[in-house]
C-alpha cells in the first residue's frame, strides 16, 4: 500500500523545502567567504524557526496553510538554494557579485520571517505549541492505544513521570544495557501489575543515551487487554502525517504495510514500545518484527512469555526505597497531625510488598488521617507479610484504600464510576460532571465533580490532568481536562462494582468481544436488573446483534464501541429512568448511529454526550427530545445535520439549555436552526478551527448567559447582532487568532461581567466607543498587548479588573 501524502502535501512540501534550504545554507556558510556575515545571520534565523516549521510540516494535515503564500515561499526557497550555491562559487575578490546577490539573500530571509509571523499567526513558540496541543488532543482519542508525544512535541517519545520516583536507577542501567545489545531486537520487560513497568519505560525514554541513539524515532503504543492491530498500525502511520482515510482490510494487511513506514522514518534507529501486552497476546510482538537495521521492540507485560529470548524482570522496591515512597505518599515528612510509631509504619510498608502502586495508594489513603484511621488499618494487616501471587490478591489488598467515612462515601462511588470506561483511555472530566450532576445532585457547573476527582487524585486512585493553568480559572472551563487511571485501579473499581448478586448491583459493566456476550446474557432469561449505571463495551467486530436485558432503573447508560456503524439496543426503549446517555466511539473513523429514534420514548433523558459520531446520521430519524437539557458533541461530524431535519430544531429540543461543541473539525458555520432555541442559556463552541462565521440570527438567543468561542482560529468577527444578547454575562473568545475587532455595539450587552480575550493576536485596534457602556463588566482576561488597550477604559469602569493571563506552556494533559 503506497504512502499517501494527499492530505498534507502542501505542508510536507513546505517542511521539506525549508529543510533542504537550511542544509544548503549550513553547507555553504563556511565556503562563501564574501557572503559569510549575511549567510551566518540567515543560518541563525533558520535555526530559530526550525522547531516551528517542523511542527507545521508534521501537523499540516490538521492545519490550514495559506496556499498562495506557501507555494510562493516554496518556490523562492528552491531558487534560494541555487542562489546560495552560486554564492559559494564566487571569488572573494569579486565585489560586483556581492552588491548583486546580498540584497536577494536578505529579501529571502525577510520573506521566510514574514511568512512565519503573519501568514501562519505563529509569532512565538507558545502559539506553535498551542496548535500542537489542538492536534494531539484529537489524535490521542483515536482508539484503544495512544502514541505519546514528548513535552517539546519533537518526536513520538514519552513524557517523563511527574511524581516522586525511587529505586529505578539500577533497573534503567540494566534495561538500557540489554536493549542496546546488537543481538537484541525484541526485549520483554515483565513484572506484576503495579510494579512500575510503564514508569521505568518512560524514564528510559528520557535517558540521554537512548534519546541520542533513537532521536525522533521512539514510538510508544499502549496495547491493552484487547489489542486492535489495525488501529495500532493506523496510529503509527499517523506519525509524520502519513495517515490518510483508508482502512486496512485485515490485521495482516496492516502488518504488511508497516515496513513502508519504518523504512520511511529512518535512517536513524527505531525503538517501538508495546506497553501493557496481556496474557493471550504473546504472539502480538512477533508480528511487529521486521528485518530492518537498528530496529528494536521493547514490550512490557505482567506475564513472562516463555518464547521470549531476551527478558528483563523488574523486581519490587527494596525496604529503603519502599519506605521513602510510602512516607512521601502519606505526607509523613510534611508535619502530619499524627505520626504513627515507626514499627507500625514498617508493618504497613512490608505489607505493600515493594509494589510502588500499592505504596502510593495505601499511603495516599492514610495521608493526614487521624490516629483512629491508622489503628483501624493496622488491625486488618495481620503480621504485615503479604505476597501477591495473583492480581486478585493485589486487588483484595488495595481495597483497604477505599475505606471512607460515612460523610465521604461519595468518593468511593465516584471511584467505582471510573470503571465504566475502557482501559487506557483518557476520560473527559466533562463526562463525570454530567453523570454526577444527575446521580449525586452535584452542581451543574462542575466545581464539586472536579473537587471529587481531585480528592481521588490526592489518594492516588486516579489522575486528574488539568489542560492549562488558566483554562479552569475563568468561569469553570473544564472541557480540556481529563482523567486517567492505572489498569490495576480500573480493575479494582470493576472488582468493587462486581460484588454481590448481579441482579442487585448498582453498576453493571459488560464487555463483549467478537460478538460473544456473557453466557448469562445469551441464555435470554428475563432477568430484572436493579443497576443505576450500565456500561456496555464492544470491539470492532461487533455486529449490533443485541440480546435483551431488563434494566428499568438505569439512570446512566455508557456505550463504548469501535465500529463505523452502530445500532442502539432496543432495550433502551424501556429505560424510563435514564437521565444521561454517553456514546463513545473509540474507533479511528466517525460512526453512523442507527435506532436514534428510540430516544424519543425516554421520559427523563436530560443529557446526551456523543463522541466521534456523524450527526447527520441522527437527523434522518429525528424525534422530539422534550426533556433534554444538555447536548455535548465531541469530535463529531456535523455537516448539514441541523439543516435537513424533518422537524424544527427548536420544536425537537423545546427545553434544551446548553450546547457544547468541541473539536468538530467540519463545522464552518453555526447552523442557523440552533439560533431558534431561544431558551438556550449556554453555548460553547471550542477548538473548531474551520468555523469562520456566526449567523446574524445568533441575536435571537436572548436568554443566553454564556457564549464561549474558545480557540476557533478561523473565526474573523462577531456579528453585530450580538448586541441583542442582553442577558449574556460571560463571553470567551480566547485564542480566536483571526478576530481583528470587537462589534461596534458591544456596549449594548448590558449584563456582560466577564470577557476572556486571551490570545486574540490580531485584535490590535482601539475598542469601539460603546465599550464604555459595559458598566457591569468586572473581569477581563487577556495578554499583555491587549491589556494596554484597556488602560484608558479602566478610568471609566472603576470596578474593572484586567487580568493578564499567565504564559503557561503546559502539556501535562498529554497521556502519561
H or E element, residue 706: strand 706-708
Cα–Cα distance measured from residue 612 to residue 422, given in angstroms and rounded to the nearest whole number: 16
Residue of 379, 487, 374, 378 whose CA lies nearest to 423:
487
The SS3 of residue 547 is coil
Instruction: Describe the crossing of helices 371-379 and 356-366 by its angle, rounded to 10 degrees.
Output: 140
What share of the chain in percent tops pLDDT 70?
A: 79
Is residue 157 scored above 70 in pLDDT? no
Q: What is the DSSP letter of 482?
A: E
**pLDDT number for residue 795:** 83
Residue of 216, 202, 239 whose CA lies nearest to 155:
216
**pLDDT number for residue 244:** 45
The set of cell numbers assigned to 172 is: 534503567
**Tens of pLDDT, residues 390-448:** 566 677 767 767 777 778 889 999 999 999 999 888 899 999 999 999 999 999 989 99
Cα–Cα distance measured from residue 467 to residue 389, given in angstroms and rounded to the nearest whole number: 38
Is residue 468 scored above 90 in pLDDT? no
Predicted TM-score of the model (pTM)? 0.69
Cα–Cα distance measured from residue 136 to residue 222, given in angstroms and rounded to the nearest whole number: 16
**Tens of pLDDT, residues 204-233:** 999 999 999 998 889 888 887 788 888 888
Cα–Cα distance measured from residue 705 to residue 216, given in angstroms and rounded to the nearest whole number: 47
**Tens of pLDDT, residues 444-463:** 989 999 999 998 888 878 88
Q: Give the model's confidence band at 329: pLDDT under 50 very low, under 70 low, under 90 confident, else very high.
A: confident
Is residue 51 scored above 70 in pLDDT? no
Are the beta carbons of 712 and 688 closer than 8 angstroms? yes
Is residue 288 scored above 50 in pLDDT? yes
Q: Give the model's confidence band at 575: pLDDT under 50 very low, under 70 low, under 90 confident, else very high.
A: very high
The SS3 of residue 810 is coil
**pLDDT number for residue 116:** 62
H or E element, residue 219: strand 218-224
The SS3 of residue 180 is coil
**pLDDT number for residue 9:** 65
**Tens of pLDDT, residues 122-138:** 433 334 434 334 333 33
**Tens of pLDDT, residues 699-757:** 999 999 999 999 898 898 999 999 999 999 999 999 898 899 999 999 999 999 999 99
The rounded Cα 79 to chain-centroid distance in angstroms is 41
The set of cell numbers assigned to 14 is: 513546505
Rg (CA), the chain: 29
Q: Where are the alpha helices (DSSP H) in 265-316?
A: 284-287
Note every long-range contact of 108-112, with CB atoms under 8 Å and residues 24 or more positions apart, other chains counting: 108/42, 108/76, 108/77, 108/80, 108/83, 109/38, 109/41, 109/42, 109/45, 111/73, 111/76, 112/18, 112/45, 112/46, 112/49, 112/73, 112/77
Strand pairing category for 730-732 and 682-686: unpaired
The set of cell numbers assigned to 705 is: 448567559
**Tens of pLDDT, residues 479-537:** 889 998 888 888 889 988 988 888 999 999 999 988 888 888 877 666 789 999 999 99
Q: What is the DSSP letter of 813?
A: T
How many C-beta atoms surround the C-beta of residue 740 within 10 A?
13
DSSP for 564-623, please give it: SEEE--GGGGG-TT--EEEEEE-SSS-BEEE-GGGGGG-TT--EEEEESBBTHHHHTT--
Is residue 813 scored above 80 in pLDDT? no
Cα–Cα distance measured from residue 300 to residue 186, given in angstroms and rounded to the nearest whole number: 11
**pLDDT number for residue 97:** 53
DSSP for 96-129, please give it: HHHHHHHHHHHHHHHHHHHIIIIIT---SHHHHH
Is residue 4 scored above 50 in pLDDT? no
H or E element, residue 788: helix 784-794
Is residue 59 scored above 60 in pLDDT? no
Are the beta carbons of 775 and 427 closer than 8 angstroms? no
Please, what is the end-to-end C-alpha distance for the chain in angstroms?
32
Amino acid at each position: 500500500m503506497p504512502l499517501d501524502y494527499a492530505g498534507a502535501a502542501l505542508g510536507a512540501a513546505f517542511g521539506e523545502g525549508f529543510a533542504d534550504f537550511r542544509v544548503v545554507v549550513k553547507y555553504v556558510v563556511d565556503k562563501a567567504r564574501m557572503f559569510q556575515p549575511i549567510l551566518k545571520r540567515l543560518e541563525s534565523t533558520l535555526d530559530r524557526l526550525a522547531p516551528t516549521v517542523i511542527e507545521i510540516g508534521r501537523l499540516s494535515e490538521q492545519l490550514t496553510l495559506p496556499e498562495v503564500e506557501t507555494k510562493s515561499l516554496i518556490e523562492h526557497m528552491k531558487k534560494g538554494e541555487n542562489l546560495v550555491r552560486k554564492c559559494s562559487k564566487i571569488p572573494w575578490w569579486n565585489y560586483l557579485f556581492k552588491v548583486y546577490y546580498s540584497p536577494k539573500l536578505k529579501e529571502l530571509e525577510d520573506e521566510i520571517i514574514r511568512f512565519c509571523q503573519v501568514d501562519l499567526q505563529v509569532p512565538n513558540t507558545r502559539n506553535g505549541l498551542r496548535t500542537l496541543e489542538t492536534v494531539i488532543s484529537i489524535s490521542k482519542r483515536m482508539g484503544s492505544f495512544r502514541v505519546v508525544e514528548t513535552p517539546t512535541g519533537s518526536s513520538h517519545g514519552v513524557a517523563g513521570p511527574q511524581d516522586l520516583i525511587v529505586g529505578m536507577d539500577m533497573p534503567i542501567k540494566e534495561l538500557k544495557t540489554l536493549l542496546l545489545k546488537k543481538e537484541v531486537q525484541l526485549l520483554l520487560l515483565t513484572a506484576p501489575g503495579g510494579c512500575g513497568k510503564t514508569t521505568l519505560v518512560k524514564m528510559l525514554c528520557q535517558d540521554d543515551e537512548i534519546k541520542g541513539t533513537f532521536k525522533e524515532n521512539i514510538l510508544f503504543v499502549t496495547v491493552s487487554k484487547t489489542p486492535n492491530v489495525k488501529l495500532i498500525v493506523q496510529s503509527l502511520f499517523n506519525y509524520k502525517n502519513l495517515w490518510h482515510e483508508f482502512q486496512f482490510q485485515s490485521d495482516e494487511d496492516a502488518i504488511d504495510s508497516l515496513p513502508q513506514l519504518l523504512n520511511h522514518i529512518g535512517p536513524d534507529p527505531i525503538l517501538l514500545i508495546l506497553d501493557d501486552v496481556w496474557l493471550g497476546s504473546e504472539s502480538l510482538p512477533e508480528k511487529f518484527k521486521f528485518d530492518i537495521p537498528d530496529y528494536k521492540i521493547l514490550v512490557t507485560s505482567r506475564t513472562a512469555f516463555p518464547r521470549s529470548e531476551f527478558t528483563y524482570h523488574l523486581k519490587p522496591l527494596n525496604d529503603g526505597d519502599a519506605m521513602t515512597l510510602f512516607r512521601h505518599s502519606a505526607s509523613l515528612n510534611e508535619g502530619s497531625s499524627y505520626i504513627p510509631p515507626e514499627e507500625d509504619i514498617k508493618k504497613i510498608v512490608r505489607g505493600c510488598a515493594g509494589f510502588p502502586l500499592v505504596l502510593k495508594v495505601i499511603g495516599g489513603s492514610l495521608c493526614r488521617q487521624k490516629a483512629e484511621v491508622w489503628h483501624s488499618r493496622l488491625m486488618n494487616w495481620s503480621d504485615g507479610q503479604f505476597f501477591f501471587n495473583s492480581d486478585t490478591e493485589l486487588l483484595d489488598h488495595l481495597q483497604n484504600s477505599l475505606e471512607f467515612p460515612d460523610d465521604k462515601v461519595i468518593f468511593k462511588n465516584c471511584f467505582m464510576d471510573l470503571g465504566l470506561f475502557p482501559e487506557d483511555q483518557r476520560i473527559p472530566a466533562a463526562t463525570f460532571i454530567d453523570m454526577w450532576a444527575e446521580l449525586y445532585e452535584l452542581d451543574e457547573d462542575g466545581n464539586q465533580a472536579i473537587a471529587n476527582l481531585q480528592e481521588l487524585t490526592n489518594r492516588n486512585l486516579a489522575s486528574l490532568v488539568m489542560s492549562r493553568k488558566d483554562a479552569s480559572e475563568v468561569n469553570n472551563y473544564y472541557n480540556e481536562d481529563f482523567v486517567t487511571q492505572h489498569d490495576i485501579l480500573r480493575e479494582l473499581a470493576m472488582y468493587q462494582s462486581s460484588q454481590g448478586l448481579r441482579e442487585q448491583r448498582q453498576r453493571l459493566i459488560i464487555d463483549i468481544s467478537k460478538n460473544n456476550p456473557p453466557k448469562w446474557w445469551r441464555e435470554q432469561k428475563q432477568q430484572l436488573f436493579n443497576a443505576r449505571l450500565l456500561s456496555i463495551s464492544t470491539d470492532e467486530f461487533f455486529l449490533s446483534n443485541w440480546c435483551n436485558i431488563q434494566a428499568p432503573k438505569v439512570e446512566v447508560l455508557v456505550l463504548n464501541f469501535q465500529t463505523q456503524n452502530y445500532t442502539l439496543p432496543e432495550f433502551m426503549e424501556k429505560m424510563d429512568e435514564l437521565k444521561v446517555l454517553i456514546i463513545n466511539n473509540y474507533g479511528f473513523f466517525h460512526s453512523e448511529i442507527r435506532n436514534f429514534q428510540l430516544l424519543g420514548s425516554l421520559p427523563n433523558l436530560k443529557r446526551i454526550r456523543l463522541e466521534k459520531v456523524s450527526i447527520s446520521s441522527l437527523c434522518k430519524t429525528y424525534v422530539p427530545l422534550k426533556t433534554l437539557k444538555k447536548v455535548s458533541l465531541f469530535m463529531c461530524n456535523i455537516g448539514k445535520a441541523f439543516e435537513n431535519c424533518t422537524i424544527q430544531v427548536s420544536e425537537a429540543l423545546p427545553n434544551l439549555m446548553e450546547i457544547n461543541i468541541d473539536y468538530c473539525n467540519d463545522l464552518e458555520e453555526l447552523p442557523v436552526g440552533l439560533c431558534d432555541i431561544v431558551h438556550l442559556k449556554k453555548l460553547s463552541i471550542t477548538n473548531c478551527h474551520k468555523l469562520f462565521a456566526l449567523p446574524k440570527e445568533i441575536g435571537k438567543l436572548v436568554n443566553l448567559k454564556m457564549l464561549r468561542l474558545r480557540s476557533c482560529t478561523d473565526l474573523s468577527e462577531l456579528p453585530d447582532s450580538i448586541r441583542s444578547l442582553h442577558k449574556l454575562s460571560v463571553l470567551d473568545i480566547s485564542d480566536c487568532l483571526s478576530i481583528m475587532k470587537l462589534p461596534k455595539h458591544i456596549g449594548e450587552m448590558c449584563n456582560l461581567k466577564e470577557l476572556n480575550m486571551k490570545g486574540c493576536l490580531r485584535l490590535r485596534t482601539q475598542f469601539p466607543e460603546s465599550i464604555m457602556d459595559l458598566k457591569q463588566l468586572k473581569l477581563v482576561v487577556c495578554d499583555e498587548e491587549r491589556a494596554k488597550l484597556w488602560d484608558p477604559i479602566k478610568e471609566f469602569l472603576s470596578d474593572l479588573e484586567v487580568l493578564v493571563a499567565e504564559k503557561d506552556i503546559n502539556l501535562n494533559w498529554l497521556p502519561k
